Structure 1
Amino acid sequence: MRYRTLGGTGIEVSAYCLGSMMFGAIGNPDHEDCVRIIHAALDQGINFVDTADMYSSGESEEIVGKALKGRRDDVVLATKVHFPLDDESRNRSGNSRRWITRAVEDSLRRLDTDWIDLYQVHRPDHSTDIEETLWVLSDLVSAGKIRAFGCSSFPVEDLVEAYHVSDRRGYGRFRTEQPPYSMVSRGIERSVLPTCQRLGMGVLTWSPLAWGFLSGKIRKDQPVDLTSGRAALAPHRFDQSLPANAPKYDALERLIEVAEGIGVTLPELAMAFVTAHPAVTSVITGPRTMDQLDSLVKAADLTLDDPTLDQIDEIVPPGTDLWDIDAAWRPESLTNPSVRRRPLADR
């Protein structure tokens, strides 16, 4: 397992990070089995574990807390805040000082720990001044409850704004960004990754297998079960009858050929591709079973040469998104028509 420094924090993390979104009701409800998977990952050299308060409404954090008893000092632990944990979201979500102050205490309790190594803002919240968010996160560092803080799936303009607010007001900085990145979701190569490099931010990417699309189990012109697993959560992403999905299924078959040509599996190729980018510090794996963990860790020592990366570039050009990169959040500028339409009287 290779190790890298996380965004100028001086903290060394494994190039693979164990993601725990699938631990709990949403994926694997067997707590003992999940604990065994976490222990197996640690035994194989992974020292970085990422979770979030909203994963299975806090259950994932509880499982991680159980697994890290007796091993906490050897693990870099990351969690996130932003999304509501239940239907009551009024003042129980977002990036306000009020909510973050409450949410961090709840996460510490569920994780059964005195501190969080990396506390991340799960998505932007344009109803809250970024200054307030950075202010409370900086206070949490001073209080010793968190060691560093970062963000997840922030557009580049929000990254730059946060950096300048931190510099102007003397607050701590976002040390990391956590964007989605895969062979079929390469949009962040346009500006997010270069900006993170310029700002000295660590990058831990999620969904390297594009929600299982690059798992090797999905093939063009073969039936896909849209009622279970990741496909059940977003069947439109996998439905081959939709014309919009044709380009990514065509790319899928060509990527499988690339993997076979160098004697690796498609998931191994997918994982090695993400870690090849110089801006990427660690790639988050999200196994639900022990077999999935083992298949992903196999690629930990795989290095792709330039001819192989050139082939991938030909199939999915750099900066191109064939996959709906983030279904969990879209900016108000796209979802709210009123913010992009002048009042009738002014048109």
Structure 2
Amino acid sequence: MMKYKTLSNTGVRISAIGLGAMPLSLEGRPDEEQAIQVIHKALDLGVNLIDTADSYCIDENDKHHNEKLIAKALSLYRGNFGGSVNSIRDVVVATKGGLLRPDGDWVVHGEPGHIRRTIRESFDALGGFHPIPLWQLHAVDPKYSIESTFVPIKEAFDMGLIKHVGVSNFSVEQIARAMKIVPIVSVQNQHNPWQRNPEFDGVLEFCEKNNLIFLPWSPVGGHYRYKRLLEIKPLTDLAETKNCTVFSLILAWLRNKSPCVVPIPGASRVSSIENSVSSLNVTLTRQEMNQIDEITKNLKL
């Protein structure tokens, strides 16, 4: 059974596990039919939070591919929503802007004119009829002040192109500055067994105190690092004891770090989103949480 949380103080309910849609649009992506099946399976299971970005694509010529794919999948969905999702309008598509993909690279670009254009392009890519449910600045561009980059974001918020605003890859000080410009409801930073900074740099604590949802990106460290977890016998033994996969175990561990945590694991196969959702059935004792903490504290990138 899907569980839900409230997106900050908005009253919007989001699933306790999201779908990270990035793998559906990068190099080596599945064909469109399979990609749409993954999104539909997520909806069947009650997932109503789908994470995307304008830059989830192969290169600049492919920009907004992921957003357009999600919009198409939602328009074609004829299944029975799981959990308490009742309609497409209950689906929270969380997109991001502020990165370029020249020749497939990832380049931060917070120039206000670019931000203004990409918000409008994302609005159109997602259908062009309703406000973007959640738009997030992908990263801080040191060439521009946060205040100047947020001018077009505040404009779009006031115009109704964006319903809610979040930030990604932000420090506590940067989040606080953004909150002075426009209401912030979510923070998306990397958090996984190899990258546990949010537990120690104040971001997770700040989110708790300010009722912000924290969205850990790359929650199991990506495909190749995840395979390394499978070589750690104490982890595989614990997963066997809990009758779950190591993947589900790590997602449960992250969720138990704080009530504000909503992991957004990526998926390019139906089995992957099923595995993600199954993590909601995994309960961990304080002793088991401490055990995983101890195992992961010395992992090397």
Same fold (TM over 0.5): yes
Q: Distance in 2 between matches of 1:78 and 1:323?
A: 31
**Which residue pairs with 1:228 in the alignment?**
none
CA offsets per residue over residues 261-289 of structure 1, 9 Å max, x none? 33321011011111112253411020111
Aligned: 1:153 with 2:169? yes
Question: 1:7, 1:201 within 8 Å by CA — same for their partners in 2?
Answer: yes
**Which residue pairs with 1:302 in the alignment?**
282
Deviation at 1:213, TM superposition (A): 4.6
Deviation at 1:298, TM superposition (A): 1.5
Q: Distance in 1 between matches of 2:102 and 2:126?
A: 19
Question: 2:54, 2:67 within 8 Å by CA — same for their partners in 1?
Answer: yes
**Which residue pairs with 2:75 in the alignment?**
69
Aligned: 1:101 with 2:109? no
Write out the 4+ residue segments of structure 1 that deviate beyond 6 Å after TM superposition: none
**Which residue pairs with 1:36 in the alignment?**
37
Q: Distance in 1 between matches of 2:249 and 2:229?
A: 15
CA gap of 1:22–1:131, structure 2 versus 1, over 3 A, is same
Deviation at 1:218, TM superposition (A): 5.9
Deviation at 1:181, TM superposition (A): 1.3
How many residue pairs get aligned? The number is: 282
- TM normalised by structure 2 equals 0.86
CA gap of 1:26–1:36, structure 2 versus 1, over 3 A, is same
Alignment of 1:7-18 (within 5 A): 7-18=8-19
CA gap of 1:253–1:214, structure 2 versus 1, over 3 A, is farther
Q: Distance in 2 between matches of 1:110 and 1:72?
A: 16
Give ranges in structure 1 of 5+ residues lacking alignment.
Answer: 221-251, 325-347
Question: 1:259, 1:269 within 8 Å by CA — same for their partners in 2?
Answer: yes
Alignment of 1:292-331 (within 5 A): 292-317=272-297, 322=299, 324=301
Q: Distance in 2 between matches of 1:96 and 1:7?
A: 28
Deviation at 1:199, TM superposition (A): 2.8
CA gap of 1:217–1:128, structure 2 versus 1, over 3 A, is closer
Aligned: 1:112 with 2:123? no
Deviation at 1:55, TM superposition (A): 0.6
| Match 1:78 to one of 76, 85, 94 | 94
- TM normalised by structure 1 equals 0.75
Question: 1:194, 1:279 within 8 Å by CA — same for their partners in 2?
Answer: no
Deviation at 1:173, TM superposition (A): 2.7
Amino acid corresponding to residue 54 of structure 1 in structure 2:
S
CA offsets per residue over residues 217-256 of structure 1, 9 Å max, x none? 7654xxxxxxxxxxxxxxxxxxxxxxxxxxxxxxx33322
CA gap of 1:219–1:279, structure 2 versus 1, over 3 A, is closer
Aligned: 1:189 with 2:205? no
Question: 2:207, 2:260 within 8 Å by CA — same for their partners in 1?
Answer: no
**Percent identical across equivalent pairs?**
30
Question: 2:229, 2:235 within 8 Å by CA — same for their partners in 1?
Answer: no
Aligned: 1:179 with 2:189? yes
Give ranges in structure 2 of 5+ residues lacking alignment.
Answer: 58-62, 77-86
CA offsets per residue over residues 8-53 of structure 1, 9 Å max, x none? 2221100111111011242424111111110110110101111001
